[in-house]
Structure 1
Amino acid sequence: MAKASAAEVEAGGRAVRVSSPDRVVYEATDRTPEVTKLMVAQYVASVEDGLMRALRDRPTALERWPSGVREGMKLATGPQDRDADAFYQKRVPKGAPDYLETVEVTFPSGRTAEEICPTEIAVPVWCAHMGTIVFHPWPVRRTDVDHPDELRIDLDPQPGTTFADAVRVAGVARELLEELGLVGFPKTSGNRGVHIYVRIEPRWEFTDLRHAAIGFGRELERRDGGVTTAWWKEERGERIFVDYNQNNRDRTIASAYSLRPLPGAPVSTPVTWDELAGLTDPRELNLFTVPDRVADGDPWAAIDDTSYSLEPLLRLWEELPGGELNFPPDYPKMPGEPPRVQPSKKVAAHWDDDGNRIEGT
């Protein structure tokens, strides 16, 4: 039987065309059947309520896997990866429909771009037609792209740790948030990690958001020896890394209800705190199981009801020792930043007290 050249998916009253609907995006596993491109688009439409709560009015980068997800495929992370199979799309793709809206964002380099800004479910369904697997929204709204409205706490398991360790640390994080008068909303990362989101008042800069994440991470370190904020991998050990740099400008996390490019089509899935505590295998939350959860109600339905002040977290940043931490390598050298050299390769005599390399060394 010949494969269909195109199909349509109903999305918010629009019929969205999906080309090559029979293309296999995820191969079958011992737990899940194969997933086609049409199934991905249908999945996106089926989780409209939760997905649009995560994406609506936010500049959103796309993680596109046009040939599907296979073992050994590579995601481009920079211009050096010209032979990669997948890539991040930060500018609007050619051929975008007229109902797709955009917003201008400014990158750390100072360059600007028009980025997709989803306002209706037909937009992410069209993005799925373009091979998008993961949606990466900024923590801002289109009305004010320079002042974040959410803090993202990324609990990233390091080698030697497990999802269970991330869940345990998430429990400590929940207690700390509650002590500070904040409410966090957890989700699985779709892999081994846990993400916690806190809606905040949009009146702080990205640097404040990052410092709030560092302060929070340092207090977690103080309370739990299995937590680290060390930027250099050689210093992290077998601990859960609080990736504070995910709160920088143009740094994003897979959105709630995004698929992940891993076998079995796992989903970064919002859960209640009680569900998270009892969850042993995040792979159970996938393209086949998550739509029924959303039909029964989104655990994050109340996330927009209240926004909080960053001040309690900024007090932790100011009061706990440690000072500034490293930025990602593609950022310009930032004020107060430690030297960008691995601690094991650093020769103390070659650096001054401000973290600058001494000329001639």
Structure 2
Amino acid sequence: MGGTKSAAEEIEVAGHPVRLTSPDRVIFPARGYTKADVFHYYLAVEDGIMRALRDRPTTLQRFPDGIEGEAFYQKRVPSRGVPPWIDTARITFPSGRPADELCPTDLAHVAWAAQMGTVVFHPWPVRAADADQPDELRVDLDPQPGTDFADAATAATELRGILDELGVPGWPKTSGGRGVHVYLRIAPRWTFTEVRRATIALARELERRRPELVTTAWWKEERGSRVFVDYNQMARDRTIACAYSLRANARATVSTPVTWDELPDVDPDDFDLRSVPARLAERGDPHAGIDDTGWDITPLLEWADRDAAAGQGDLPYPPDHPKMPGEPKRVQPSRDRDLNRGTTD
């Protein structure tokens, strides 16, 4: 005979009733963590997750049958079957098509998403009040084969030195995998194109200082065993798992804010569904001050102008993005007929 199905329960979150069904469904098989574990994890990290998500259009990475089952990204909130208190925000994709995404204004929105099988939260770097002008510049330090988290942490520390010279605070966190993310809170005055251009300029400066460690090469064949600065995470409709979001891996790790001082010594696998709530309760959120100041990115745009004058223009966009003015060809160098013409007999 089959086991008894656990009863659904209704839990009040931020003044709203949220129904939790199938609480015993296993979401992380290797650790035995259930849907109820995921749901209550997000309730336990309220301070951190709401700092990361509040008023941001958010794409949901859902795993209704657990992380080993089918997954999908939900970019539109359904028009039916949604609680009347759910808030949405309208975003526009690179194609020009709009969508109304979940826009968490309180913890009940996060709990509702968790009830719907959401494991990973991917907020846009904008607020609902102005969804076309980012207020968050994200630097994604992505270790390539032959490198690891320690290399990404070293690159992040070098980046910190550049940010100190610019007089802007950076806010590091683990990616939940092998990478490191560093966020800058910026004034929402610039377009996605301008903020991406500023990110490329910052990435190139980091690459110049540590060329043996860091690369901005879009094509994998050119990266080598270095840490790639994924500047295209600032292209419109590209998102990163937010601070305090779970990641869909066997260990149920969490993308976790850390201090600059502890970054070189942490093991990202130590931050998981069980350990992070206690860490947040005991130590507070290292990103607590992130919203204090919005920085002017004009110095980075000036660096971009300097680089362009030296012959370093734009870099390729993601393959699903419309062709942009001034963008180079989206052809990997080994297949570029113009680049390779005359190199062989």
Normalised TM-score (structure 2): 0.94
How far did 1:336 drift? 1.1
SS across alignment from 1:273: coil
User: Corresponding residue for 1:16?
Assistant: 18
Please list the CA deviations of residues 33-65 of structure 1 after superposition, one character each: whole Å capped at 9, or x if unmatched. Answer: 410001100001111111001111111010011
1:237 lines up with 2:224 in the alignment: yes
Matched position secondary structure for 2:138: strand
Q: Is the 8 A contact 1:270 1:299 kept in 2?
A: yes
Among 146, 171, 184, the alignment partner of 2:170 is 184
Residue aligning to 1:46: 44
Distance 1:313 1:262 in 2: 35
Partner of residue 336, structure 2 = 346
Q: Which residue of 1 aligns with 2:100?
A: 114
What SS does structure 2 have at the residue aligned with 1:274? coil
* Aligned equivalent of 1:213: 199
Q: Which runs of 5+ in 2 are unaligned?
A: none
**Native 8 Å contact 1:41 1:128 kept in 2:** yes
Provide the residue aligned with 1:203 in structure 2.
189
Deviations 1:229-264 (CA, angstroms, capped at 9, x unpaired) = 111111111110000010011111001100000011
Paired position in structure 1 for 2:55:
57
The 3-state SS of whatever aligns with 1:67 is coil
Matched, 1:287 2:273: yes
Aligned to 1:359: none
Q: State how far apart, in whole Å, the 2-side matches of 1:339 and 1:105 are.
A: 28
Please state how far the C-alpha of 1:12 moved relative to its aligned partner.
2.1
- Which residue of the partner structure matches residue 34 of structure 1? 32
Counting only pairs closer than 5 Å after superposition, residues 1-361 of structure 1 correspond to structure 2 as: 2-28=4-30, 33-70=31-68, 85-93=70-78, 94-225=80-211, 226-279=213-266, 281-296=267-282, 297-320=284-307, 321=310, 322-348=312-338
1:286 Cα deviation after fit? 0.4
Distance in 2 separating the partners of 1:177 and 1:14 = 41
1:331, distance to aligned residue in structure 2 (A)? 1.1
Q: Aligned equivalents of 1:15 and 1:104: distance in 2? A: 25
Distance (whole Å) between structure 2 residues aligned to residue 247 and residue 192 of structure 1: 20
Q: CA deviation at 1:332?
A: 1.3
Please identify, of 4-13 and 226-235, the stretch whose mean Cα deviation from structure 2 is larger.
4-13
Note the aligned Cα RMSD (angstroms): 1.4
Q: C-alpha offsets along residues 192-214 of structure 1, whole Å, 9 cap, x if unaligned? A: 00000000010011111100110
Q: Cα gap change, 1:349/1:172 in structure 2, threshold over 3 Å: closer, same or farther? A: closer
1:294 maps to a residue whose letter is L
Matches of 1:108 and 1:316 in 2, distance apart?
A: 26
Q: Which moved more, 1:133-142 or 1:6-15?
A: 6-15
Work out whether residues 187 and 295 of structure 2, in 8 Å CA contact, stay in contact via their aligned partners in 1: yes
SS of equivalent to 2:121:
strand
TM-score normalised by L of structure 1: 0.90
Query: How many angstroms does 1:99 deviate by?
Result: 1.1
1:110-144 residue CA offsets vs partner (Å, 9 max, x unmatched): 00111111101011111011110111111111111
Residue identity opposite 1:339 in structure 2: K
Cα shift at 1:318: 1.5
Structure 1 distance, partners of 2:340, 2:333, is: 13
Q: Aligned-pair distance for 1:157? A: 0.5
Alignment: residue pair count: 333
What is the CA–CA distance in structure 1 between the aligned matches of 2:151 and 2:174, rounded to whole Å? 13
- Stretch of structure 1 that moved more, 333-342 or 316-325: 316-325
* Partner Cα separation in structure 2 for residue 327 and residue 339 of structure 1: 10
2-side partners of 1:203 and 1:163: how far apart? 33
- Give the Cα separation in 1 of the matches to 2:256 and 2:248: 14
Kindly, what percent of the aligned residue pairs are identical?
59
**In structure 1, distance between residues paired with 2:296 and 2:256:** 26
Structure 1 runs (4+) deviating above 3 angstroms are none
Q: Distance in 2 between matches of 1:326 and 1:267?
A: 30
- Contact 1:9 1:42 (C-alpha < 8 Å) held by counterparts: no
Residues 334 and 340 of structure 2 are in contact (CA less than 8 Å); yes or no, is this contact kept in structure 1?
A: no
The residue matched to 2:262 in structure 1 has which SS? helix
